[in-house]
């Protein structure tokens, strides 16, 4: 009894014989602020005197993009309808212009239209050709936009088919938002009801002041006893963002293994991003739906690389002296000068091969932020990190590469099993795709690797084996921590961030 705080006493009086009351009702009865009511309820609950029941409801409402979609239609629908009006097939440029899509919306519209199987795209003489293959039916996402157009709607109140629409729209930034509203009700236990009848309204003093001592009132007052086991508010000290810490730790591990860091620009020449990696200039991965093109300036300079440029050009056209037949087309130097946002970290490996100070033998790594106009969902972002590595030296074999990849998966991602399967990349032969398994996560693919082809190394005068890999370091972190949504890596959710440990 003497250990009850004055806030606990007030709550006991307010709850006596009342059953379960909401926090708002208790605020009215006690004239206490919400924080004091909740704190007192927590204390009483920890002593077995009260029960706290929480119910939460998810409310769904439109975001800024969702309201725009409602006004203007989804970008993919505008694109598909424009293609239909153009005869069912058109160039991507014509269709985007007819649909009123800007450079930002076009790749998004293409991605979603393909995902919904409305259109197909192919490479043609006039550029990228888009064709409608299925009638664009009204989908769950569009029906959901209409359903919540009037304001916030409880998620549980939506028909089941619209829950699929909610999952789709969650992947589109600012299209739709959900917010959980918690409702707390508090009531007394039998022990609490019994105690409430014994509590007096005598006010206890929690602090002995100079006035009480000087006046002598300290002799007649009742001092409150302190419960050193009473629960207190959690304290959250500052700490490094968990994914940032993981990247730093990964760098230190690589440095400890003797790797040196490679660096390269974010705004890159198509030459290093694709051409120097023996990727043909008509490859689909070089289209607008897979690469961000710089609008101004559009082109950079290759004057520093005149001789290697000619070597790469010859490799593409006829194989040069590499022993291959090349790709058999007319190489465009203008295309090689095109400026883009790097779409893969391997361009840094190409730049390292171009560095006359490269060490042979040598080991190099980079962790690079890359950019692709992907549809954002739980496994894809438009910005992502790749960890790249190359080892240059004589007598290197494919077995050496597999050993490095297995070490990465086990030591950095905490994987339990690793498996490899053959794959294809224009710049490596042989090539392999790496997947790792961890209990509770399952199998996760996180990167490709191989031995650089002569068409990649010989133009720079390097005639020894180069093993190379490019791994999705975002996915390595997801596996290590058990995260199943890549967006959580960059979240500003304070609850999630506070729960992450320091080790």
What are the boundaries of each domain within the chain?
Answer: 6-54+181-219, 62-177, 243-265+343-499
Please state the pTM of the whole predicted model: 0.56
Mean pLDDT (whole number) for 238-247: 86
Distance, CA of 137 to CA of 77 (rounded, Å): 9
CA–centroid distance for 126 within its chain: 36
Check pLDDT > 90 for residue 16: no
Mean pLDDT (whole number) for 314-324: 93
What fold, for 243-265+343-499? BirA Bifunctional Protein; domain 2 (3.30.930)
Check pLDDT > 70 for residue 480: yes
Position 466 scores a pLDDT of 95
392 Cβ contact partners less than 8 Å away, ≥ 6 residues apart: 358, 359, 360, 361, 362, 363, 364, 462, 464, 465, 466
Check pLDDT > 90 for residue 61: no
Mean pLDDT (whole number) for 46-66: 82
Angle (CA) 76-94-96 rounded to 5° is 30
Asked, colleague to colleague, whether 6-54+181-219 and 62-177 share their fold, the answer is: yes
Position 503 scores a pLDDT of 57
Q: Output the 3-class SS for 173-192.
A: CCCEEEEEEEEEEEEECHHH
Q: Does domain 6-54+181-219 have CATH number 1.10.10.10?
A: yes
Position 317 scores a pLDDT of 94
H or E element in which residue 448 lies:
strand 442-452
Pick the residue with more confidence: 236 or 502? 236
Check pLDDT > 70 for residue 200: no
Given this structure, which CATH class describes domain 62-177?
mainly alpha
Distance, CA of 349 to CA of 389 (rounded, Å): 7
Do residues 425 and 448 make contact, with C-beta atoms less than 8 angstroms apart? yes
Name which of 139, 76, 81 is nearest 105 in CA terms.
76
pLDDT tens, position by position, 155-184: 777 777 777 777 777 778 788 877 777 778
Would the CA dihedral through 212, 218, 224, 228 be positive or negative? positive
Distance, CA of 499 to CA of 485 (rounded, Å): 16
């Amino acid at each position: 009894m003497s250990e009850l705080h004055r806030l606990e006493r007030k709550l006991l009086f307010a709850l006596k014989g009342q059953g379960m009351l909401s926090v708002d009702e208790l605020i009215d009865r006690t004239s206490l602020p919400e924080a004091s009511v909740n704190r007192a309820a927590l204390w009483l609950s920890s002593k077995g005197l009260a029960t706290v029941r929480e119910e939460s409801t998810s409310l769904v409402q439109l975001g800024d993009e969702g309201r725009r979609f409602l006004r203007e239609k989804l970008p993919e629908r505008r694109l598909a309808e424009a293609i239909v009006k153009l005869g069912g097939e058109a160039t991507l440029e014509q269709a985007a212009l007819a649909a009123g899509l800007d450079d930002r919306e076009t790749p998004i519209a293409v991605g979603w239209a393909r995902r919904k199987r409305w259109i197909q795209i192919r490479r043609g003489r006039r550029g990228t050709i888009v064709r409608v293959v299925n009638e664009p039916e009204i989908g769950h996402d569009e029906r959901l936009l209409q359903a919540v157009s009037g304001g916030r709607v409880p998620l549980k109140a939506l028909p089941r088919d619209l829950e699929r629409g909610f999952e789709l729209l969650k992947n589109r930034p600012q299209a739709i938002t959900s917010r959980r509203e918690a409702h707390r009700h508090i009531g007394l236990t039998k022990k609490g009801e019994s105690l409430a009848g014994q509590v007096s309204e005598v006010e206890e003093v929690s602090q002995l002041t100079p006035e009480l001592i000087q006046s002598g009132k300290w002799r007649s007052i009742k001092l409150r006893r302190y419960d050193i086991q009473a629960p207190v508010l959690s304290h959250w000290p500052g700490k490094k963002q968990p994914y940032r810490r993981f990247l730093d730790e990964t760098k230190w591990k690589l440095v400890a293994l003797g790797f040196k860091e490679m660096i390269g620009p974010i705004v890159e020449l198509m030459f290093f991003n694709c051409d120097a990696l023996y990727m043909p200039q008509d490859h689909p991965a070089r289209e607008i739906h897979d690469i961000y093109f710089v609008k101004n300036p559009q082109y950079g300079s290759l004057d520093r690389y005149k001789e290697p440029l000619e070597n790469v050009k010859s490799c593409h056209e006829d194989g040069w002296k590499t022993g291959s037949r090349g790709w058999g087309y007319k190489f465009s130097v203008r295309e090689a000068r095109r400026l883009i946002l790097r779409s893969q970290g391997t361009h840094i490996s190409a730049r390292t091969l171009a560095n006359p100070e490269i060490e042979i033998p040598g080991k190099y790594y980079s962790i690079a932020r890359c950019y692709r106009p992907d549809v954002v969902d739980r496994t894809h972002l438009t910005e992502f990190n790749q960890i790249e590595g190359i080892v240059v030296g004589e007598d290197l074999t494919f077995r050496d590469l597999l050993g490095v990849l297995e070490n990465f998966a086990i030591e950095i991602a905490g994987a339990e099993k690793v498996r490899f399967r053959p794959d294809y990349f224009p710049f490596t032969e042989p090539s392999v795709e790496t997947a790792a398994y961890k209990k509770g996560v399952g199998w996760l693919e996180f990167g490709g690797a191989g031995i650089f082809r002569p068409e990649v190394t010989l133009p720079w005068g390097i005639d020894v084996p180069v093993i190379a890999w490019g791994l999705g370091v975002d996915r390595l972190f997801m596996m290590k921590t058990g995260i199943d949504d890549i967006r959580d890596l960059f979240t500003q959710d304070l609850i999630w961030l506070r729960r992450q440990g320091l080790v």
